[in-house]
Amino acid sequence: MRILSSFNRQKKGFTLIEIMVVVAIIALLAGLSISMMLRNRVNTNEVVAITSCKTIASVCQSYYTGTIPHQYPPSLAALGVAGPTGPSYIDTALASGNKAGYIYSYQLTSPVSFTINADPEVQGRTGERYFYCDETGRITTTKGAQAGPGDAAVN
């Protein structure tokens, strides 16, 4: 005769504690990966902002040498319009002044000088650093406020 006890029976399924441990581990991993993803987005936006400042400064020099009398473009929008001799200097997104989480401000300060500011749309979410560039092509950066010519250079 066989005696069945509750200790000899095989358990089927998981206990509530085991399921809660698995859910906690998944939540922890999800939290870590989401924060890394958001940080990567900020870094990517900042790299795009630096590249866009370099692009604007470079095409402004091309615009300058292509006009007689020599002068820099009156606005970013002017760089986004195709001319009679070829295509536009920059893409329409950059010409609109808004690209990859940054707002670009171009100011023609004289016929032979200009400034560019790239500011994050939402500080801390789309970017942490502010950028500045002028006709020299030197890009400077700062955190927390609009950058200027006296700020640290971007390496």
The full DSSP string for 80-120 is: TS-BTTBS-SS-HHHHTTEETTEEEEEEEEETTEEEEEEEE
Q: Could you give the CA distance from residue 90 to residue 8 in angstroms, rounded to a whole number? A: 76
- pLDDT tens for each residue of 10-53: 667 889 999 999 999 999 988 888 878 778 889 999 999 999 99
CB pairs under 8 A, 24+ apart, for 46-49? 46/127, 46/128, 46/129, 48/99, 48/100, 48/101, 48/102, 49/100, 49/102, 49/118, 49/120, 49/127, 49/129, 49/131
pLDDT higher than 80, residue 55: yes
Percent of the chain with pLDDT over 70: 91
Banded pLDDT at 81 (limits 50, 70, 90): confident
Q: Could you give the CA distance from residue 34 to residue 55 in angstroms, rounded to a whole number? A: 31
Banded pLDDT at 87 (limits 50, 70, 90): confident
Residue written as token pair 């991993």: 29
| Domain residue ranges of the chain, discontinuous segments joined by + | 16-153
Banded pLDDT at 120 (limits 50, 70, 90): very high
Q: What is the pLDDT of residue 12?
A: 79
pLDDT higher than 90, residue 153: yes
Banded pLDDT at 105 (limits 50, 70, 90): very high
- Using only the alpha carbons of the chain, give its radius of gyration: 27
Q: Let me know: does 154 contact 131? Beta carbons within 8 Å.
A: yes
Q: What is the pLDDT of residue 5?
A: 55
